[in-house]
Each structure stands twice: as structure tokens, then as C-alpha cells.
Structure 1
Amino acid sequence: VLVDIIDDLMQMDLQLILLGSGEQRYQELLAGLPAKHTRKIAVKIGFDNALAHKIEAGADMFLMPSKFEPCGLSQMYSLKYGTIPIVRATGGLDDTIQDYDPRTGTGNGIKFSAYSGPTLLEAVKRAIALYCNPQAWRRLMANAMASDFSWQRSATEYYGLYRQLVDTASRQR
């Protein structure tokens, strides 16, 4: 879906860094973009973990418009860096990212549901609008960095669930 909106993104006040690999036709298309959009986009085909962390740590936003994502770690790394993930609501991305609500100040990222260029573009526009509101952006960044995916939190939640099940079973006797 990203390739469907590249030209739209390049018209916006942003810069894009792409790192990764995929289908050959997309790699070839993406590799040619820096020549067409100088100073707007950088593309590195292949994966480099150290570079990925540097990009995530230095970026304001992280696009992860996955069609399918059973878990996903990159969005969790981005959260800890304060880099706001823009993700499609699928699998682990849906589980770990809560869409930011500027009215309540809750949420830790930007989430969209349909796997399509227009919905991704709207999500990017929402993120940029938040970025232009320093108070909302700082709140979103703080929420992102406070996200907790630790074993301690998971164990506490499981304990609470088991406790609830035992209590319910005891009352039904």
C-alpha cells in the first residue's frame, strides 16, 4: 500500500527513510525513488538491525502498514524510542498499539484498519496534524514511551485473569 501513495507523501512536508526487503518488483521501484525525489526519500534494500534501531531512534514516526503481522517487534522498539508508530490494525500491531485520541489524551500510536493506500495516507495526515500540535505530540510520545510489554505486566494480568476465573468457579458451586 505504501507504493500506492508515495507520490502523495512526497508532496507533503516530510522525509521518508525506507529499510527492508520484499518482492523484487517493489525493491526495484523503491530503489529508484531517491533519484526522483532528492532530499525527500532514502532507500536501503536489505535489512541491517543496527541501522534499523538508529532509524527508529532518530525518526519522529514509524510506518508499519503490514498486511499481516503475527507479532511485530519494530513497533515496540519505536514506542520505547518515542517514535510514533503508524500501523495497520492487524495481529500483534493491533494488540500493542492503541489509536491516539486527542480528546482524552489516550493511546500510544496511530492505527488504521483497511489495507489500502488512502487509509494509510489519512493515518499519516492525522499523525502530521498531531505533530503540528506540540502539546498533543508530547503527550502521545509520553504515552508511547510508557507502554509496558514486560513479562511482569503480562504475569500480573494473567494472575488477575486466573484469580477471576477461580472466584467465578467458586461462586457457581
Structure 2
Amino acid sequence: MIVGLIVACEVAFWVLLAAGLAVRYLLKWRRTGLALLLGEPLLELVLFAVTAADLRNGAEPGPEHGLAALYIGFTVAYGHLTIRWLDGHAAHRLAGGPRPPGPPRHGMARAAHEGRLWLRTVLAAVVACALLQGAVRYVGDGATESLRGYQWTALRVVAIHGVIALSYLVLPKRAPKGEPERPRPPA
């Protein structure tokens, strides 16, 4: 049941996002589009409530509960960034807005960009681990190995992403000759 709900939340995320952007830019109903986009966090609250109710009703903690926590953590950390990125592209394509700037491709600007993304991954792992620890305490003496395993998974993802982000700092890619290194515009 939980896995189906995770899939439904992911599908609903993209449907709400597409509907919000379409209403915002094609129909020019900015407030309605914003309301649809602000409905995104409700999906995570529903997933959290159903997962907690499932555990409260005596379900054995399993991979689906860990996956739900990871999904919520990822959405908390990267959801707003994803929406903002797609909103910029929709404004460019559908409303004649300026082309959104891409991430820097070279040098320390790229290393800083990768470092900021890594911090988002840390946030996702902190949220997921906190939810998983809450589930472990909630379940008590039950079989919580699966939940603890997902905590380690979150920490491994942070470590792997950290190594990748650090590689941009240690071995920065240089701009080709004649192309200036452009700093990232302030957000």
C-alpha cells in the first residue's frame, strides 16, 4: 500500500506541477497556478500521515516505510529547487521570459554550485534519518533493521555525493581558451 502511495505522490507531484505551470502561463491565472504549486507539500504530509498510520496499526516496518522517509527527505530538499527550475523554463518557453541561466560549467563557480547541491543532499538525509529515527522509536521493540538500513543508505548517499562535489573543488574543470569563466548569478 505504501509503495503505491509513493508512486501516486510522485505522479501527483508532476501532475500538479504541470497543471500549475499551465494555468499560470497558458491561462494567465497566476494566483490559481500558485495555489496549485503550493499544494505540492500537501502530498508529502499525506504520505507521512499514511505511513505513520500504517505503523500505528501494527504493520511490520519494511522497506516501503524507509522508502517513504527517503522520498519525503528528497522532496523537502529538492522539491522547491525543481519547481523553481521548471518555472523558469516554463516562463521562458510559454511566456516569453528570459532564458534561465544554467549552472556554471567551470572552475570554482561550478565547485560552489556542486557544494550547494551537496548541502541539499545533506538536508534530505537529515530529514529522512529523523523520520526514520522517529519511526524506530514509534515502533519500539519491533523489527526495525529495515528502517536502520535506510538510515545507512541515506548516509551513504551523502558520502558519495560529497566525494563527487569535492572532486569539483579538488580538480576543477577549466574553461576552454577564449571562453571566460562566468560566475553564477546570485539567486
TM above 0.5: no
Greater helix share, structure number: 2
Greater strand share, structure number: 1
TM-score by length of 2: 0.25
TM-score by length of 1: 0.27
Q: Which has the higher contact order (CA 8 A, sep 6+)?
A: 2
